């Protein structure tokens, strides 16, 4: 775990040479081929840039945007039309074309919250008291910001590297052999049939109660984060379905994936990620919460700057390649962002989101992927649009508001308007 603090991001824009994008089609397919053979526009984008120590800046016009919809959207962010957004980044062809960093006094805000507005009243584990601004590095004036459940997507990437290197046999192996040091009630044989694939796709069959909402004292994640033995708590939960059959969002599944990675590699996830994922793409500064078990919190404990969070998105946009060096296999990336769990199976029947290996896959209703993303509580977003060679990052802290409105507006309205093809 490192707690080094990064320098403040700049809002400066620099003019560069204009370039155009050849628009091609990409889709995420069924689990049989997982989109591995799909063609991405990003593979053919001209004049792309790779961030070194810092990202290169360009302008909206230079990278093919109509600036008016984007600039109007940024004005709406400042006015809190979409809740409390802290940082917005828009990247095309590997260059930042729009950025807004909105500094907020969260300590003052937390002090004014009414009891009913607090996310986690009566929290017994101090580092998981999300209403205490003093416990978050970003709130203390650094660029390190909670990414919440985007942690899951990044942990999945780290796991994929271990599988690429042969340290884990594959995703279809049962998970219980990785937990021989724990007491597991095996009276229900379904628990012994849970595989790594089931954890990755949130189809564990493990009962996980979220009916009361996060912060409710009956919520399974609330109980987990107040537990002194996270792994044992998850393993103790009963089964309610055959593994691999029913999608149920389960923070505990991501925690188990982190422990499996630790057992397989001999390195805790934060150390493994630093060596195998972060350092190769230029991420030097991060913070990762450690659970009472002594493990990195892989369900939501990672903190990154917006600029470094964008590096993760850009790595996946480029199919796991970073400036000529292979970091993650193309196969793993493509499988991760395929709709293995189809839309309609991830929530109610109208859900427009599919699910891959801890990544969300929005679709247009006709089976075509609109891109993919890592989503986290309070407005944390990595959004990748391969057709347009675009990466978007949102960071914010609006846990009890409609924090998804900003990303929805960008995806559905702003990008289509600003990248509209002339008739």
Comparing C-alpha atoms, which of 336, 403, 347, 410 is closest to residue 375? 403
HEC per residue, 333-346: HHHHCCCCECCCCC
pLDDT of 110 = 76
pLDDT at 283 over 80: yes
pLDDT of 44 = 55
pLDDT of 422 = 60
Mean pLDDT to the nearest integer, 5-21: 29
**358 inside domain:** yes
**107 inside domain:** yes
Report residue 123's pLDDT band, with 50, 70 and 90 as the boundaries. Answer: low
pLDDT of 69 = 97
Contact call for residues 185 and 191 (beta carbons, < 8 A): yes
**25 inside domain:** no
pLDDT of 365 = 67
Mean pLDDT to the nearest integer, 235-253: 97
Report residue 121's pLDDT band, with 50, 70 and 90 as the boundaries. Answer: low
pLDDT of 367 = 65
Comparing C-alpha atoms, which of 67, 52, 53 is closest to residue 15? 67
Q: How many domains does the chain have?
A: 1
**28 inside domain:** no
Q: Where are the alpha helices (DSSP H) in 66-195?
A: 67-78, 106-112, 150-164
Predicted confidence (pLDDT) per residue in 371-405, tens digit: 999 999 989 999 999 999 999 999 998 877 788 89
Report residue 31's pLDDT band, with 50, 70 and 90 as the boundaries. Answer: very low
Higher pLDDT pick, 275 / 139: 275
pLDDT at 213 over 80: no
User: Residue 355 is part of a domain; what is its CATH number?
Assistant: 3.40.710.10
**22 inside domain:** no
**3 inside domain:** no
**284 inside domain:** yes
pLDDT of 21 = 28
Domain that holds residue 289: 41-418
Report residue 346's pLDDT band, with 50, 70 and 90 as the boundaries. Answer: confident
pLDDT of 34 = 40
**17 inside domain:** no
pLDDT of 48 = 95
Contact call for residues 218 and 211 (beta carbons, < 8 A): yes
Give the contacts of 21 (CB within 8 A, at least 6 positions apart). 41, 45, 46, 64, 92, 93, 388, 389
pLDDT of 329 = 98
Mean pLDDT to the nearest integer, 95-113: 87
Comparing C-alpha atoms, which of 360, 337, 160, 183 is closest to residue 260? 160
pLDDT of 45 = 62
Mean pLDDT to the nearest integer, 78-106: 93
pLDDT at 8 over 50: no
């Amino acid at each position: 775990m490192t707690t080094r603090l990064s320098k403040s991001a700049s809002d400066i824009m620099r003019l560069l040479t204009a370039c155009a994008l050849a628009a091609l089609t990409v889709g995420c397919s069924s689990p049989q081929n997982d989109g591995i053979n799909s063609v991405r526009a990003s593979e053919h984008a001209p004049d792309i840039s790779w961030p070194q120590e810092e990202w290169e800046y360009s302008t909206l016009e230079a990278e093919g945007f109509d600036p008016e919809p984007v600039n109007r959207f940024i004005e709406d962010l400042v006015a809190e039309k979409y809740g409390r957004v802290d940082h917005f980044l828009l990247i095309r062809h590997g260059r930042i074309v729009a950025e807004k960093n909105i500094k907020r006094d969260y300590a003052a805000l937390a002090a004014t919250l009414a009891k009913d507005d607090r996310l986690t009243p009566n929290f017994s584990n101090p580092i998981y008291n999300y209403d205490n601004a003093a416990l978050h590095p970003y709130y203390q004036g650094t660029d390190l910001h909670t990414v919440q459940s985007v942690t899951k997507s990044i942990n999945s990437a780290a796991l994929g590297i271990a599988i690429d290197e042969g340290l884990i046999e594959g995703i279809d192996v049962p998970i219980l052999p990785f937990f021989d040091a724990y007491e597991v009630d095996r009276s229900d044989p379904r628990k012994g049939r849970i595989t790594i694939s089931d954890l990755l796709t949130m189809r564990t069959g493990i009962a996980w109660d979220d009916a009361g909402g996060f912060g409710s004292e009956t919520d399974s994640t609330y109980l987990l984060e107040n537990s002194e033995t996270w792994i044992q708590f998850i393993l103790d939960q009963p089964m309610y379905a055959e593994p691999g059959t029913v999608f149920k969002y389960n923070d505990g599944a991501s925690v188990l994936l982190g422990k499996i990675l630790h057992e397989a590699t001999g390195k805790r996830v934060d150390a493994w990620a630093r060596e195998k994922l972060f350092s190769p793409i230029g991420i030097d500064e991060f913070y990762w919460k450690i659970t009472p078990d002594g493990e990195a919190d892989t369900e939501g404990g990672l903190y990154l700057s917006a600029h470094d969070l964008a590096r993760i998105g850009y790595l996946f946009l480029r199919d796991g390649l970073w400036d000529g060096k292979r970091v993650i296999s193309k196969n793993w990336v493509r499988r991760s962002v395929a709709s293995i769990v189809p839309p309609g199976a991830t929530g109610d029947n109208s859900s427009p989101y599919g699910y891959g290996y801890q990544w969300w896959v929005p679709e247009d209703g006709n089976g075509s992927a609109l891109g993919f993303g890592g989503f986290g509580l309070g407005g944390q977003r990595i959004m990748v649009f391969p057709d347009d060679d675009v990466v978007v990052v949102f960071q914010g802290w609006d846990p009890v508001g409609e924090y998804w409105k900003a990303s929805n507006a960008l995806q559905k309205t702003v990008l289509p308007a600003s990248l509209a093809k002339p008739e």
